[in-house]
Amino acid sequence: MINEKLPKIWYGGDYNPEQWEKEIWDEDIRMFKLAGIDVATLNVFSWALNQPDEETYDFTWLDEQIDRLYENGIYTCLATSTAAHPAWMAKKYPDVLRVDYQGRKRAFGGRHNSCPNSPTYRKYAERMADRLGERYKDHPGVLIWHVSNEYGGYCYCDNCAASFRKWLEKKYGTLQNVNKAWNTRFWGHTFYDWDEIVPPNALSEEWNGDSTNFQGISLDYRIFQSDSLLECFKLERDALKKHTPNLPVTTNLMGTYKELDYFKWGKEMDVVSWDNYPAYDTPVSFTAMAHDLMRGLKSGQPFMLMEQTPSQQNWQPYNSLKRPGVMRLWSYQAVARGADTVMFFQLRRSVGACEKYHGAVIEHVGHE
């Protein structure tokens, strides 16, 4: 099993009590017990709440929630909150903001919005993981660490360009080797200095996001970005391991997501977890293959089904409800393919914003 503290199939999911008023929390606990929920994932997107400014860290709300859950027989999968940086960070340190595929500097907003090669992002993300590890290292209710959330997305900023050149130098050794590997004599693309190499995007070699003049540079940039995001994961993982060497560390992957080299990522994770969101017309055989792919990243051990929706999604072209029995069927399919958990996004539906229409164990109506 994933963790001997709770040697069973874990049942639960993402829980965001900070979005709701306190009077809702007792009702949540009552219904969690009624449903048999025993694990809640906390703190996924709470960086701004945990760190309202550069120097202040406040985990009071998190203390209360972890204690409250544990006192009621519910354990915590504790996330590091670094999946979206706070507004103050973007304002004071604009290097954390990504540059998009068209070469535009992002403003604050959305999520997956941090440059993986930003020194500022890496410093504060590692520091947050370190603070959390120190604070909760002895808490009996914490089962597993959940670093960031659904890593993905690329950046094309100057920091990434400089880091890409260093990555290439380490990989190829010389510019001559780069030129040979990329066949740069075609169209007069020979490089004579490292700083002549720029990220391949809509301003240089690519168009439509998946078409390129030079396959070599485009493929290498994708491997580089995957490695850059993996370095961010490892920074947080190592900060946590310093305090809790025996607690497993994971981050939630996304099946056949092609932007990251999950085979390389799997080697760095204690437990593989992933988010399963088939569309209404996804063949069940494809979902089975995705489970097998995730299980295969760490051969011989179970994986976590970190997220699935109990009812409808909110981002597919058609967001159909599940027929009675389908959620049980899909959950059993995951367990049959090697999952040690059945977990959902999310346990109570969001009060507002873009995921208010995404299904949850407890819907807005709030009944059993």
Tens digit of pLDDT for each residue in 67-79?
999 999 999 999 9
CA distances from 38 to 102, 330, 339 (A): 45, 20, 16
Residue 209: pLDDT over 90: no
pLDDT of residue 62: 98
279-288 per-position pLDDT tens digit: 989 999 999 9
pLDDT for the residue 18: 95
Contact 73, 33 (CB under 8 A): yes
Which pLDDT value is given to residue 300?
85
Long-range contacts of 284-292 (CB under 8 A, 24+ apart): 284/333, 287/330, 287/333, 288/333, 288/337, 290/255, 290/256, 291/333, 291/334, 291/337, 291/338, 291/339, 292/337, 292/338
Structure confidence by residue, pLDDT tens digits, 295-315:
999 988 999 999 999 999 999
Percent of the chain surpassing pLDDT 70: 100
Confidence check: pLDDT of 261 > 90: yes
pLDDT value at position 4?
83
pLDDT the model gives residue 165: 98
What residues form DSSP beta bridges with 207? Answer: 211
To the nearest 10 degrees (0 to 180), the angle between helices 158-172 and 215-243 is 100
Rounded distance between C-alpha atoms, residue 363 and residue 150, angstroms: 24
Average pLDDT over residues 47-54: 98
Task: Over range 195-222, report the average pLDDT.
Answer: 96
What is the arithmetic mean of pLDDT over 117-139?
98
For residue 255, pLDDT beyond 90: yes
Query: Higher confidence at residue 113 or residue 273?
Result: 273
Query: Which of 34-43, 99-108, 226-235, 310-319 bottoms out in mean pLDDT, i.e. has the lowest?
Result: 310-319
The answer to whether the bond into 346 is cis (omega within 30° of 0) is: yes
Mean pLDDT of 200-211: 94
Q: What is the pLDDT of residues 311-346, one digit of tens each?
A: 999 999 999 899 999 999 999 999 999 999 999 999
Residue-level pLDDT at 305: 98
Q: What stretch of H or E contains 10?
A: strand 10-14
Which residues carry out catalysis? 150, 307
In the predicted model, what is the mean pLDDT of residues 223-233?
98
Percent of the chain with pLDDT over 90: 95
More confident residue, 3 or 320: 320
**Phi–psi pair at 13, nearest 5 degrees:** 155, -175
List CB contacts of 180: < 8 A, sequence separation 6 or more: none
Chain segment 166-180, per-residue pLDDT in tens: 999 999 999 999 999
Q: What is the mean pLDDT of the chain?
A: 96
Q: What is the mean pLDDT of residues 18-39?
A: 96
The dihedrals phi and psi of 136, each to the nearest 5 degrees, come to -110, 15
Section 194-206 average pLDDT: 97
Mean predicted confidence (pLDDT) in 13-30 = 95
Coil, strand or helix at 35: helix
pLDDT, position 1: 81
pLDDT at 34 over 90: yes
